[in-house]
Homo-oligomer: A and B are copies of this chain.
Amino acid sequence: MLYLIGLGLADETDITVKGLDIVKRASRVYLEAYTSILLVEKEKLESFYGRDVILADREMVESSSDEILAGADTSDIAFLVVGDPFGATTHSDLVLRARELNIPTRNIPNASILNAIGATGLQLYNFGQTVSMVFFTETWKPSSFYDRVKENRSIGLHTLILLDIKVKEPTLESLARGKPVYEPPRYMTAAQCASQMLTTEEDRMENVYGSGSLAVAVARLGSNDQKIVAGTLAQISTVDMGKPLHSLILLGNRVHDLEKDFIRNFAVDVHSFDEAWKGLVSKP
């Protein structure tokens, strides 16, 4: 059996009791470590589980999935995923490959960033489609997220924006030399995301949002150290949310007063929050 086990969002104790039990008895344990990260090191997981964990990078999962699946027809393999196994990043291809090989699979759900943002007090019913934001470069500033945000806002919905992470990316020079050397990991901050959003609005000028639009930044959700900040995009673009991982929510105008009561508590500045809220709800 291939078990896909969600680890939740923060530390080694966010695994479920059911998941931990499988990890303890599986014949091999893999950790998917390229689409998200826990806030603790692999060594901490290993000492908590009392066993070795094999890091599975993108290359292994995408090109050598049969290595992961080896023996899963007769013994149990655990494949650990930060968050939920089918949350922000699906692992459908691994499951499809297992099906081809007649290997049964089972999914152990856990919290994902897609539901944990409910802790902001914004109602999950009021969210439209989720989008991703990649690191802009001088020459590459993809704006497909902008079209999705536009659709959500046209029907009054909030948008969750998931932020780029770069883990184990080879440097260009090292690739040219044929011997990969990896860049240090990079995690987009909520501030970077807000300012990229404002850059895109300046380019596209379709008035989807502006520097005064209300947003909520979150960091390290589910940890002791969780941080939630509400403010305009201009305010968020300078806010320091601390260590990764961050996400950002752009508010839609179909909002409930209970949502206001809840997030006002996280405002950078209550006065400007109230002004921005008035602007939001007075929209047609």
Which of A's residues lie within 8 Å of B, judged by CB?
6, 8-9, 11-18, 20-21, 84-88, 90, 92-93, 95-96, 99, 107-112, 114-116, 118-119, 121, 123-132, 151, 155, 157, 221-222, 258-259, 261-262, 265
B86:A258 contact, CB within 8 angstroms: no
Minimum CB–CB distance for A153 against chain B, Å: 11
Chain A to chain B contacts (Cβ below 8 Å), 9 pairs: A6-B111, A13-B17, A17-B17, A86-B118, A87-B124, A88-B124, A92-B121, A109-B111, A111-B115
Name the residue in A9, A14, A107, A109 with the highest tally of chain B Cβ atoms < 10 Å from its Cβ: A109
Q: Give the interface centre of A8, A118, A123 by most chain B CB atoms within 10 Å.
A: A118
CB-defined contacts of A93 to chain B, threshold 8 Å: 258
Decide if A130 touches B124 in the complex (CB within 8 Å): yes
Interface residue SS majority, chain A: mixed
**Chain B residue contacts of A259, Cβ below 8 A:** 92
Alpha-carbon distance A116/B9, docked complex (angstroms): 15
